[in-house]
Amino acid sequence: MSQARGAVVQVADIGADELAAGVGARTLLDTGAGEPGLVRRQIELEPGAEFEGSASSAGELWFVIEGTGEFAVVGQPGVALRQDRGVLVPPGSSYQVRAGDQDRLRLDAVSLPGPHGAGQDLNAPLSRDFSDCEIETTGDRQFRVLFGPGRDCAVATQFVGEIPPGRAPDHSHPYDELVLILRGRGLAHIGGAPHALAAGTCLHLPPGLTHCLENTGSETLRVLGVFHPADSPAAKLEHSQ
């Protein structure tokens, strides 16, 4: 699919760039099309590996898919990394990431668009665990917002959604959204066309694009979403009949 109509990619199909010894990064999607947009990367560190980097000018939203480690911004206390923990990275900050000595560390990292700071008055990284976030519902689906309006991030939203077996009605959103499948199998119906979903599938859903996610399996379909500008995952555009 083209970026203008959305996109569907598989993590395994994208080559990794070496950031340091034992550290690889895959750029999954860039929604900018020549202008600043959401950029999603997946970063993998072998046990004990580490690297240094700099956050985008508007900050970044990270999520620990698996493993343990530490995230540190220069001059600030470090943040422990563990599975299902989100991290809000200060705009333009210099950071260091180190994986634990026992397990591979795999991270989702989304750079946010906008001018420097973009409303984020933040010097130190913030972290929040999925299990500590309030359960919200839309229809038969649950989601938990880790960062968003009223949750320390006014410019974008990061959430984890859980979709039971079945299909929801087609809908669209007023924001630009990136979705990563963390667990389960299903179909993404995008603009009337079906696309297979499995762990490692990444979607770009532009504002107004009609879509729905269908869980075709027997277990919960678990997704990690980041969208800009900030809003609720339940926000939908009205569609004429």
Show the domains of the chain with their CATH numbers. 13-125 (2.60.120.10), 131-228 (2.60.120.10)
| Calpha distance 28→33 (Å, rounded) | 14
The whole-number pLDDT of residue 48 equals 98
Condensed to tens digits (0 to 9), the pLDDT of residues 41-100 reads 999 999 999 999 999 989 999 999 999 999 999 889 899 999 999 999 999 999 999 999
**Mean per-residue pLDDT, 204-214:** 92
Asked if residue 118 lies in contact with residue 155, where contact means CB atoms within 8 angstroms, the answer is: yes
* pLDDT tens sequence across 95-127: 999 999 999 999 999 999 876 555 566 889 999
Q: What is the CA radius of gyration of the chain?
A: 17
User: What does the buried/exposed string (b/e) look like for 150-171 if buried means 16 or more CB atoms within 10 Å of the residue's CB?
Assistant: ebebbbbbbbbbbbeeeebeeb
